[in-house]
Amino acid sequence: MEHTISSPVRCTGIGLHSGKPVELVLRPASAGTGILFVRRDLGRPVRFPARPEWVVDTTMATTLGSGEWRLSTVEHLLAALRGMGIDNCTAEVSGPELPVMDGSAAPFVYLIREAGIRAQRRMRRRRVFRHPVEVRDGNRWVRVIPSREFKLSVAIDYPHPAIGHHAIQSFCLTPEGFARQVAPARTFGFLRDVQRLQSVGLALGGSLQNAVVLDDRRVLNRDGLRFPDEFVRHKLLDLLGDLALLGTPIQGHVKAMRSGHALHQALVAEIRANPSCWTLETPGAVTEPVGQELPGRAPELKPARA
């Protein structure tokens, strides 16, 4: 069955680039709607369906466009909605970017749980892969291969003493596993890049409160990392959010090496261009996925309720 949230819920945070307050309101949506973003700060509502054809930029974040208007940093909320099994939801935003919150998807998971989750009468369809689909850019690649369930394998390799090489193999998604093991992983960046961006009026909301920040040798956050492999967990989170733009859950094993938003959207485009590699199916029965569970716990987070 498809699912939506049971009641409206809201939070307020700051935009990563503007540094200004942004309000986000999640509302239930009827079956078959999908995920719909709406900007409410422009005099009239401007809608941004969470679909691949609405993606206009993948620099540093995934950005949707509607005419002259933009809405950026949608991937963390999309990951939370997909990870918690939400098919239909309207997300109203009071600015050009979603609130960055703590740099992870955990605050959005908290919002979804506060709102409650409600089953709908429409059956959920899955995109079942029969043949592999892959995109490459040098030594960076991402692919999806046939599998009996949805699995994610992600690897990163940074020439930095605090990051290095980390990999997650065959992580099978469940709402509880996502909420505890993936959602709390924060975005990360380098101090020199933050300073450069702020010098040209970008990343004005970026701080140690909403990102893992590194200098040339170490992590600068006083409390350190939430997980020893928090960097690769966040890459998995980004991948899940970007794949949510397909509009339907995947039955297949997605593998990624050194990937990013641009490569994720290239894979989405390649999937759409090769319908002979997959079929849309409605499973006759729901089975519990099995696979690797990642160690760790999610922190307590308490955004405001509508």
- Residue 76 annotated in active site: no
CA-wise closest residue to 163 among 209, 230, 223, 77:
230
CA distance 261 to 55: 11
SS3 159: coil
Q: Minimal CA–CA distance to 185: which of 196, 194, 177?
A: 177
Annotated catalytic residue, options 3, 166, 261, 264:
261
Amino acid at 50: A
Q: Which of 274, 275, 281 is nearest to 249 (CA)?
A: 281
Which class for 49: exposed (0-12), middle (13-18), buried (19 or more C-beta within 10 A)? middle
Q: Hey, which residues are catalytic here?
A: 261
